Amino acid sequence: MAKLGIVESIYIAPQAKAPVNAVIQVRVVPSYGLEGDRYFSKTGTFSPKDVPDRQVTLIESEAIEGLARDYSIDLAPGDARRNIVTRGVALNHLVGLEFRVGEAVLLGTRLCEPCTHLESLTQPGVRTGLIHRGGLRAEIVVGGTISVGDELREK
């Protein structure tokens, strides 16, 4: 199994629009999401849609750095409101593929394009600056613990 990248940071928010909290590790549960996160407890803004690709979201740290470089928008990694911030992996290429993160196996379901809701919680220009690099939505196939420093690996 080839290494794809690493987990740089992990974030959860207890409810919709609440500030995110950085955690060192989190337990992920199939059909639910990350323990302690708004979508796990069905209190996220988009929870009524309750589809598998709301279980976990990932974004590349390189995309956040690109937002600062290309659009002069400084966004803290947690402010992107994605659960897992990665480094060294092209997340767009994982759509339709299963991959390992720590003990878990995830299925990349679709891109996590930025929306007006994200921009309303951050600052103008975030939506435009993160188009096609806003991250990845994933379904949890096999649960387990994901920790900062874990590798993303091919399955």
Cα 137 from chain centroid?
7
Contact yes or no for 23/11 (Cβ under 8 A): yes
- Residue from 54, 49, 51 nearest 37 by CA: 54
| Best-predicted range by mean pLDDT (34-43, 78-87, 111-120) | 78-87
**pTM for this entry:** 0.85
Q: Per DSSP, which regions of 35-111 are E strands? A: 56-60, 84-87, 98-101, 104-111
pLDDT of residue 43: 61
Contact (Cβ atoms closer than 8 angstroms) between residue 15 and residue 155: no
Residue 49's pLDDT is 55
pLDDT band (50, 70, 90) for residue 143: very high
Tell me the domains of the chain and their CATH numbers: 3-154 (2.40.33.20)
Q: 67 near 17, Cβ under 8 Å?
A: no
